[in-house]
Structure 1
Amino acid sequence: MKRFVRWAILGLGLVASLAHAAYSVDQLMADLAQNKGGRARFVEKRFVALLDKPVVASGEMLYTPPHRLEKHTLLPKPESMVLDKDTLSMERDKRRMSINVSSRPEAQAFVESIRSTLSGNRQALEAHYRLELEGERTGWTLTLLPTEPEIAALLQRVTVSGSHKQVQRIEYLQVDGDRSELTIEVLEP
């Protein structure tokens, strides 16, 4: 009888493990594809080896699926970045600059790590990254590992975490050890 109870407990543990492991990249992408966009607050911490403490910025983001993403930094200095399809426009200190990200592979990979994750576009992500997923629908972590040598020379990995269809945190780890953490709090769905 004791042996039966022990095997039953082990069996339940195995079933629970399989249930957690059952959440797949395809399911995550399907969940993320349901994201209708909206506004969010963000806090970004940049950890740079040359500095004693992180550089902290905060502001609001606006996502309009599938191609438009706006990041408006309010503190410590106003700054605006707008990604509309393949055009990235930046404004800081009354200076404006625009680039076509499709003409710059490293910029394209960076953009797709955010935009394609938010829109649940697995094909676009896999054009630049190998995908590794851990967790379950209520708490997942997607790691993006660069597959292109030009990108891998700059970026070690991107780690995106969230719950259900909401991205809550993005971390970029550069090859030189510098990193940035972006925490996202949805204001409206």
Structure 2
Amino acid sequence: MRRGARPAGALAALAFAVAFAAAGTADEATSPQPVEYEQLLKLLAARRHGHVTFTEVQRLAILDRPLESSGELLYDAPDRLEKRTLNPRAETLVLEHGVLTAHRGHRTYLMPLRDYPQVAPFIESIRATLAGDREALERLFRVGFEGSLAHWSLRLVPTDARLAGSVREIRIEGERDAIRSVDIRHGDGDRSLLSLGPEVSP
């Protein structure tokens, strides 16, 4: 038996791959973090637009083999995120102003996020990151920073019970202001790894 990619996983990969590229810092830190963490957020906050290639591998317990896809990711600060899947079949997901729009073939689906309270904490974390609201971000996640600006890793562990029920942890790795991967590990053992390539030339 086969099933499609997890909607929450697709949204999470989309959002976290680009949300941190528009992150800022709050006026006052809410928990001790290395100075490199503050420097990283400032570097990422300076980026207002991004357009990169991606490959995604989703490993779902119910499937015999991984689901693989590739395409392009775009963001425009502060709240427009777009994931264009080109292979194995065309699909576009756009998150803007609290509405997720999916384009598949000749069909378009609209999903107002307010109608999906189970993902509300996750969406709030995106909003907090995009707005530079560190206090709100750290209210929903335990944020761990490892490495240096040259090669860093962020580990996000949900503190919200509803989110923790579906997402065990998220690991984001990068080099200076470039995000290289987003690894989402779900509570049921499923996993999604999004690898980001270089910037796409205009």
TM range (shorter): 0.7 to 0.9
- 1:98 maps to 110
Letter in 2 for 1:147: T
Write the mapping of 1:29-178 to structure 2, written as runs, cut at 5 A. Answer: 29-111=41-123, 121-178=133-190
Deviation string for 1:58-94 (max 9, x for gaps)? 0011111111111010001111100112111112232
- Whether the aligned pair in 2 keeps the contact of 1:32 and 1:117 (CA below 8 Å) is no
- Give the alignment's TM-score, normalised by structure 1: 0.79
Q: Kindly tell me: are residues 158 and 81 of structure 1, through their superposed partners in 2, closer, same or farther at Cα, counting changes over 3 Å?
A: same
- 1:182 maps to 194
State the identity %.
Answer: 35
Unaligned runs of 5+ in 2: 1-32
- Give the alignment's TM-score, normalised by structure 2: 0.74
Which structure dedicates a bigger proportion of its chain to strand? 1
Q: Rg bigger for which structure? A: 1
| Cα distance between partner residues in 1 of 2:115 and 2:40 | 29
- Whether the aligned pair in 2 keeps the contact of 1:143 and 1:157 (CA below 8 Å) is yes
- Whether the aligned pair in 1 keeps the contact of 2:51 and 2:74 (CA below 8 Å) is yes
Letter in 1 for 2:119: A
| Cα distance between partner residues in 2 of 1:54 and 1:112 | 30
Q: Kindly tell me: are residues 137 and 180 of structure 1, through their superposed partners in 2, closer, same or farther at Cα, counting changes over 3 Å?
A: same
RMSD over equivalenced CA pairs, Å: 2.4
Letter in 1 for 2:94: V
| Cα distance between partner residues in 1 of 2:62 and 2:142 | 30
Shift, 1:28, TM fit = 1.9
What is the count of residue pairs matched by the alignment?
169
Shift, 1:127, TM fit = 3.9
Letter in 2 for 1:64: D
- Whether the aligned pair in 2 keeps the contact of 1:155 and 1:175 (CA below 8 Å) is yes
Letter in 2 for 1:153: G
Q: Kindly tell me: are residues 81 and 122 of structure 1, through their superposed partners in 2, closer, same or farther at Cα, counting changes over 3 Å?
A: same
Unaligned runs of 5+ in 1: 1-20
Letter in 1 for 2:111: I
